[in-house]
Amino acid sequence: MARVFNFSAGPAMLPEEVLQQARDELMEWKDSGMSVMEMSHRGAEFMSIAGQAEADLRELMAIPDNYKVLFLQGGASSQFAMVPMNLLRGRDKADYLNTGSWSKKAIAEAKRYCDVNVVASTEESGFTTVPDAASLAFSDNAAYVHYTPNETIQGVEFPYVPDTGALPLVADMSSTLLSRPIDVSRYGVIYAGAQKNIGPAGLTVVIVRDDLIGETLEGTPTMFDYATHAKAGSMYNTPPTYAWYLAGLVFQWLKRNGGLEAMGEINRRKSEALYAAIDESDFYSNPVEPKARSWMNVPFTLADPALDPVFLDEAKAAGLLTLKGHRSVGGMRASIYNAMPEAGVEALIGFMADFEKRHG
């Protein structure tokens, strides 16, 4: 079987080792006589899978003991509401940074629950950069500060962590979690949809500091209360068990391959190589200010947009799939998450050079 290099922004590639292990265990996990998909989420077998997955994630990220790790459903989009519902805690204002499409969606949802102060916005630049760290001035009376470290659509990434002082910092890390080491203690809440670097779609990981749990807005649904899931070990309702299991396999794969330090170095090399190929060409261009370029999502345009469908057709024939840019920005986008091997990026760079030779 010939597998392609899938540059999708999500659902994204999974490591082949993980897929092979899941294949081998599909009909029967260990000696249980059943598939993980058939297990009771409260049974001993799945509880051991869930416990191991959390332990591995805590080890990989060095998550402090005063943080809960929740395995939820609803995607990052549900967190756009759950964050203000859980973190306003008697206040009526929150600070947000607006640096792309996902920031805008988070801001729009938060406005349903509180006064949103947009501390900085790069919309006028077409979301091609991030605000300077020194320019950020947060509200004294804000309940928290929210930002999106990496915008998958625009390919913009913060090269720094905002310093919010005593204000809890909330980060939508859907497209960067596990791509490199981070200091969890700098955040109040980290949340991420799984379908980029963690596993298949359907699972959402939330890492929340203990002191931010337990005081919700009046009328908050039970399922939207972090305390509900923290008390129940993410088992208040039937969780996405198979997605949780696959995420656990990814965590083990990361541990076998050097952890987040090693993954960060590989991701840095992949992105630098692809950006260098774009910058050295007169045929391709990237609109993002160099200091704010994403390691995970690399948008680029061709000198002649009329060649876009030709590029995509020929790339597909070469085994390079899902390179079409988001409909809101056009052009191309190569998402190069953890499971994308360096060989895949090298194959894309080689194809781009050949395409330029023939069409440039």
- Examine the residue annotation and report whether 172 is marked as an active-site residue of this protein: yes
Are 320 and 347 a contacting pair, CB within 8 Å? yes
Choose, from 56, 68, 104, 196, the residue flagged as catalytic.
196
Choose, from 29, 68, 104, 172, the residue flagged as catalytic.
172
- Examine the residue annotation and report whether 29 is marked as an active-site residue of this protein: no
17: left (phi over 0), alpha (psi -120 to 50) or beta: alpha
Could you tell me which residues come within 8 angstroms of residue 98 by beta carbon, excluding any fewer than 6 positions away? 104, 107, 118, 120, 121, 122, 123
Sign of the Cα torsion 137, 138, 139, 140 reads negative
80: left (phi over 0), alpha (psi -120 to 50) or beta: alpha
- Examine the residue annotation and report whether 295 is marked as an active-site residue of this protein: no
> What would the DSSP string read from start to end of 104-122?
HHHHHHHTTTSEEEEEEE-
Choose, from 56, 68, 95, 102, the residue flagged as catalytic.
102
How far is the C-alpha of 116 from the C-alpha of 274, rounded, in Å? 37
How far is the C-alpha of 221 from the C-alpha of 81, rounded, in Å? 11
Active-site residue set: 102, 172, 196
